[in-house]
């Protein structure tokens, strides 16, 4: 049996923590070069020298003080789950700032190793770090790493095993505050229980957190300790004594104490050489962060991304489409007619095949997004949008989850945990579903391919993403004005240096999204396609028990047909018929199902063509849509708008419930998105008709 231990990775956002996690575990994780990518702990495993090591990737955080959910998650895992060793990943090129978290982890009294990551970037910028001296000053084993090249990974595992086996020769040192603060820390520890069963947190750390007025620690003391009132009374005495002696707030005095030590250690162990060299990051930011050019450049980059996605993906999409058309025709011609034939051809192949057709577009979109994240540009996009976001009552940091929503709304909503203000967080959660996730892309691609010339396809796709952003900002303004009044908070966000992302990280991200898409196609979408086929096929006889003579009549009188006709009066003013209504109802489960349901409807509709003597009943998806939907380009565009805006998928609603702790906000999201979708589509459709589109 292999020996086992747990290793937790902790560090600031953008320190390369998730890259090292990937190198250690080989796990497929999203590596992005902006704050907020890792909002939950992720786990992986690595086998090394007879050990089975569980690696936990903690949320990226600048501090362990309970200001945001990700900070609480990070420290609770360290304190409550007690990993055998914590590896603090530090960005060597921003060493002074990163060491603040290092000191806070040391205060937790856990076995610690430091990975001095991005050492190559630090050295290229003229920094000479005396690792041995810094290691002695901090009392921590330091390993030089370059995560993007896999350098130092083996040494990191060796250092972790040394700590676990108790072979580390590094003397553990506890950072000491000034005498006045240390006296009060010692005073408060007398009233804290030493029994781990009663109180699992280190007593010294608890006393420091109390002096810092940490709300989460105070809440837990009130809930768990019988003498909580005495402790809090002593706390007020201690805080008052510190204020009288230092003429400063205790929290600020503690923070300044940490930074004073960091500045001293940095001066001792780091030499900064003067290097006269061209800084690409500074030069690029002069253009990309320009007040006038910043937003147009961002929109231009997004436009190029969608042109790239649609233009390059079109031929691959056509090949897959032809393959499924051939498969459906082959099965249809070589199987006996009957229920199973219809299920396979009209239900599974038409439904699931209609979704898998769009895999090339999904791959290309995520390839582009992953590349932009990896370079560091996405952080700039949030910075550029800060001024616009302030006008709607948010700040640029809220734009990070919104950008993540281009991939999937679920991790985007989870990424709001990096927002410290509860109102900012809730508003961002409510507007993020208006961002065009990858699940909507098949609907866009189908309708654009069917009803718009190739020359304007990329522009049409870009307009939908842009409309989503604009409406999200407008709704943020409405929510901030009427539901969540209050001033928006100032925005401070780290802008990482530009890097060329590794091919491995980009491909991992792209494949992760593609695999989720394929897995959904093979499970949820397959199941719903079969259900929708059944609803569109049954009942197979009229009220008198006779089989329907006309397939179109049978379709109208099917269970799904009746549902569609029931809501048709509501949809008629925005240009939709009962068949589109069926697809939109199915889309409540997952947006891709809008496409698979239309595929099933049009495939069943193709039976009419077969009976009229056409050679091929199973045609390309776009061709069937053109022939049977009765859509004009205006109707197709309005359907894309409705798909963009109406209810997010069930999984997203479940995540909103989990993140807000109540069903109130998911239900509110359902209500407001449906109303918004209908209103916008009514204006677009009726307005388009008036001007002759």
Structure tokens at 233: 């009374």
Question: Helices marked H in 139-246 — which ranges?
Answer: 153-164, 179-189, 203-211, 215-224, 228-246
**Pick from 186, 202, 178: which is nearest to 255 by CA?**
178
Q: Residue 152, annotated ligand binder?
A: no
Q: Residue 12, annotated ligand binder?
A: yes
Q: Residue 59, annotated ligand binder?
A: yes
Q: Residue 26, annotated ligand binder?
A: yes
Paired residues of 141 in beta bridges:
113
Q: Residue 195, annotated ligand binder?
A: no
Distance CA 455, CA 374 (A): 30
**Pick from 442, 369, 375: which is nearest to 404 by CA?**
369
CB distance 555 to 536 below 8 Å: yes
Paired residues of 89 in beta bridges:
11, 115
3-state secondary structure of 117: strand
Q: Residue 17, annotated ligand binder?
A: yes
**Torsion-angle region of residue 630: left (phi > 0), alpha (psi -120 to 50) or beta?**
left
CB distance 380 to 285 below 8 Å: yes
CA distances to 294, 342, 530, 533, 592 from 333, in Å: 57, 11, 21, 20, 28
Q: Residue 147, annotated ligand binder?
A: yes
Q: Residue 35, annotated ligand binder?
A: no
Distance CA 675, CA 646 (A): 8
Q: Residue 25, annotated ligand binder?
A: yes
Q: Residue 11, annotated ligand binder?
A: yes
Q: Residue 193, annotated ligand binder?
A: no
Q: Residue 38, annotated ligand binder?
A: yes
CB distance 14 to 494 below 8 Å: yes
The verdict on whether omega for the bond into residue 352 sits within 30 degrees of 0, i.e. cis, is no
Q: Residue 44, annotated ligand binder?
A: no
Tallying the residues shown for the chain, one arrives at 693
Q: Residue 673, annotated ligand binder?
A: no
Q: Residue 120, annotated ligand binder?
A: yes
- Which residues are CB-neighbours of 480 under 8 A, at least 6 positions away? 392, 393, 394, 423, 427, 486, 488
Distance CA 581, CA 352 (A): 19
Q: Residue 426, annotated ligand binder?
A: no
One-character DSSP codes across 239-262: HHHHHHHHSS-HHHHHHHHHHHHH
Q: Residue 56, annotated ligand binder?
A: no
Q: Residue 430, annotated ligand binder?
A: no
Q: Residue 285, annotated ligand binder?
A: no
Residue 84: DSSP 8-state: S
Q: Residue 40, annotated ligand binder?
A: yes
Q: Residue 13, annotated ligand binder?
A: yes
Q: Residue 57, annotated ligand binder?
A: yes
Q: Residue 117, annotated ligand binder?
A: yes
Query: Which strands make up the sheet holding 42-48, listed edge to edge?
Result: 42-48, 51-57, 3-11, 85-91, 112-117, 141-144
Q: Residue 128, annotated ligand binder?
A: no
Annotated binding residues, written as ranges, equal 11-18, 22, 25-26, 36-40, 57-60, 117-120, 146-148
Annotated binding residues for Mg(2+), written as ranges, equal 22, 25-26
Annotated binding residues for GTP, written as ranges, equal 11-18, 36-40, 57-60, 117-120, 146-148
């Amino acid at each position: 049996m292999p020996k086992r231990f747990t290793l937790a990775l902790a560090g600031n956002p953008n320190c390369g923590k998730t890259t090292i996690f990937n190198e250690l575990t080989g796990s497929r994780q999203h590596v992005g070069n902006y704050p907020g990518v890792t909002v939950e702990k992720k786990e992986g495993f690595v086998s090394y020298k007879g050990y089975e090591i569980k690696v936990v990737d903690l949320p990226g955080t600048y501090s362990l003080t309970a200001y945001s959910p990700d900070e609480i998650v990070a420290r609770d895992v360290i304190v409550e789950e007690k990993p055998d060793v914590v590896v603090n990943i530090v960005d060597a090129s921003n060493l002074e700032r990163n060491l603040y978290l290092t000191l806070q982890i040391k205060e937790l009294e856990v076995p610690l190793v430091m990975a001095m990551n991005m050492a190559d970037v630090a050295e290229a910028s003229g920094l000479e770090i005396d690792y041995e001296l810094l290691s002695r000053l901090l009392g921590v084993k330091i390993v030089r790493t370059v995560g993007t090249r896999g350098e130092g990974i083996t040494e990191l595992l060796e250092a972790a095993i040394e700590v676990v086996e108790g072979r580390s020769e590094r003397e553990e040192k506890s950072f000491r505050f000034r005498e006045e603060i240390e006296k009060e820390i010692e005073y408060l520890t007398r009233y804290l229980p030493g029994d781990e069963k009663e109180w699992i947190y280190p007593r010294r750390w608890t006393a420091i957190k109390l002096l810092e007025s940490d709300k989460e620690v105070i809440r837990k003391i009130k809930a768990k300790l019988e003498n909580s009132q005495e402790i809090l009374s002593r706390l007020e005495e201690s805080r008052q004594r510190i204020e009288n002696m230092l003429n400063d707030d205790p929290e600020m005095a503690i923070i300044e104490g940490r930074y004073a030590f960091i500045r001293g250690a940095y001066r001792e162990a780091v030499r900064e050489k003067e290097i006269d060299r061209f800084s690409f990051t500074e030069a690029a930011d002069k253009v990309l962060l320009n007040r006038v050019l910043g937003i147009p450049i961002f929109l231009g980059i997004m436009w190029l991304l969608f042109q790239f996605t649609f233009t390059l993906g079109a031929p691959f999409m056509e090949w897959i489409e032809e393959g499924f058309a051939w498969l459906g025709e082959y099965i249809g011609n070589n199987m006996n007619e009957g229920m199973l034939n219809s299920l396979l051809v009209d239900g599974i192949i038409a439904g699931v095949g209609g979704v898998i057709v769009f895999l090339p577009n999904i791959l290309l979109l995520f390839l582009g997004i992953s590349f932009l994240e990896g370079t560091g540009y996405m952080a700039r996009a949030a910075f550029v949008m800060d001024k616009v976001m302030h006008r709607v009552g948010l700040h640029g940091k809220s734009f990070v989850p919104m950008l993540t929503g281009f991939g999937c709304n679920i991790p985007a909503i989870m990424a709001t945990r990096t927002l410290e203000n509860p109102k900012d967080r809730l508003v961002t959660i409510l507007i993020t579903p208006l961002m065009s996730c990858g699940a909507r892309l098949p609907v866009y691609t189908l309708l654009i391919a069917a009803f718009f010339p190739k020359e304007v396809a990329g522009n049409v796709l870009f307009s939908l993403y842009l409309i989503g952003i604009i409406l999200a900002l407008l709704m943020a303004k409405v929510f901030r004005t009427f539901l969540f009044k209050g001033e928006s908070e100032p925005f401070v966000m780290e802008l990482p240096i530009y890097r060329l992302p590794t091919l491995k990280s980009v491909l991992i991200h792209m494949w992760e999204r593609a695999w989720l898409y394929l897995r959904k196609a093979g499970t949820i979408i397959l199941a719903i396609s079969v259900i929708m086929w059944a609803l569109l096929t049954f009942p197979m006889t009229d009220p008198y028990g006779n089989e329907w003579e006309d397939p179109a009549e049978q379709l109208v009188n099917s269970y799904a047909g009746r549902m569609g006709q029931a809501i048709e009066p509501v949809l008629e003013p925005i240009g939709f018929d009962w068949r589109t209504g069926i697809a939109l109802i199915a889309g409540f489960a997952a947006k891709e199902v809008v496409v698979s349901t239309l595929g099933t409807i049009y495939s069943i509709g193709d039976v009419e063509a077969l009976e009229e003597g056409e050679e091929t009943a199973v045609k390309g998806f776009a061709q069937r849509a053109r022939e049977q939907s009765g859509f004009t380009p205006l109707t197709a565009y309005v359907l894309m708008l409705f798909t963009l805006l109406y209810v997010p998928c069930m999984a997203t609603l479940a995540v909103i419930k989990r993140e807000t702790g109540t069903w109130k906000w998911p239900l509110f999201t359902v209500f407001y998105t449906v109303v918004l979708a209908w209103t916008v589509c009514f204006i677009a459709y009726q307005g388009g008709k008036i001007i002759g589109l």
